[in-house]
Amino acid sequence: MSPNAQAVFKSLPDKLSKFFLRYPPRQIQEYAQKPVSISDPTRNPFLATFNEITQKYRSPAYSLREQSDLFKLAEQYGIEKLLPSMNKKFGIQKKSEKRTMSGVRRPKGSKYDNNRPERMAKREDAIKRADEIIKEVRGKRYEKRITAKNSVPKNLF
């Protein structure tokens, strides 16, 4: 390590410095991208490991909560790229990859709003045909009364 790197390393919080002592930064050692065997030297502390003897997976060395804490600390010091790769996304990574909801991109609307043009067309048609509909329902006597009412008298005097 160069003297500059040692000074930076000493300025890191205990949690980060202990992590980098146990798992060197990416520049020094490359870590696996997928779960690997327990005996593999490139195993990633943030991913599960596979035990070949028992044929079972072992949980990661660091839980998601601990990964989050480490990532946030490393981000404060600008060294988050030195951490091994992780499945979980944090902060800006998470927001940039997040897909917008379909309801925000293209609002579906309510049933009332979607059916409104149809309803208004029916209403207009019903208003235009109002006299005919009333005549059908009430019968001939009503029709005569309406025609008499609408007709202008020939002579009032």
Per-residue pLDDT tens digits for 114-124: 999 999 999 99
What is the enclosing helix (H) or strand (E) of 97?
A: helix 91-97
Q: Round to whole Å and give the CA distance between 86 and 89.
A: 8
pLDDT digits over 126-150, tens only?
999 988 888 888 888 888 888 887 7
In the chain, domain spans:
3-88, 111-150
For residue 19, what are the contacts with CB-CB under 8 A and spacing of at least 6?
70
Question: Which stretches of the chain drop beneath a pLDDT of 50?
Answer: none
In one-letter notation, the amino acid at residue 33 is Q
Count of CB atoms within 10 A of residue 17's CB? 13
Residue 1, pLDDT score: 58
Cβ-contact 97, 57 below 8 angstroms: no
Residue 92, pLDDT score: 67
Cβ-contact 47, 105 below 8 angstroms: no
Residue 32, pLDDT score: 86
State the pTM of this model.
Answer: 0.55
Residue 125, pLDDT score: 95
Residue 157, pLDDT score: 62
Query: CA separation (Å) from 96 to 14, 89, 100, 103?
Result: 31, 10, 10, 18
Residue 139, pLDDT score: 85
